[in-house]
Amino acid sequence: MVQGSKEVRRPVLDADLTSSALQSITNAEIIRGLADGGYVRGITVEAQGPASRTPDYAVYILTTWRPGYSIFNIAFPHRPRLFRDLDRLMELIRFEFKFEGNVNIRLAGDRVGQKIGRLRSASKPQNDPKPLS
């Protein structure tokens, strides 16, 4: 979509994470939740253009004061906030949101559960030693 001379980029988000039931959260809501004693429990970053060398990244945040993941949005106009630089995104996550856990990065459209299942089956030893009695 073109407005004036600027091109507005619309994110193409993965359908399973952006269902109508998925709520959004803004920076101000996160800061307020942290100030009220809550914390961020998990973060997943999704690369929006997996074929691109410089994809945009959407952020899904799991907090203690909301059930389930929320997509990180900007307040106005109401749309997902996308990041082009992982370093800046990690700085925001670590210092402003005070999150020290692992940050999962996935590609849009990736079937995460299937990959985890394949990894688990590949990591099992073929010949299990007999237990000692």
Higher pLDDT, 125 or 103: 103
Of all residues in the chain, the percent with pLDDT exceeding 70 is 66
The CA-CA-CA angle for residues 57, 62, 65, to 5°, reads 140
What tens digit of pLDDT does each residue of 19-53 get?
A: 445 799 999 999 999 999 999 999 999 998 867 78
Of all residues in the chain, the percent with pLDDT exceeding 90 is 48
Q: Half-sphere exposure (CA, 13 Å, Cβ side) for 52?
A: 10
Rounded to two decimals, the pTM is 0.67
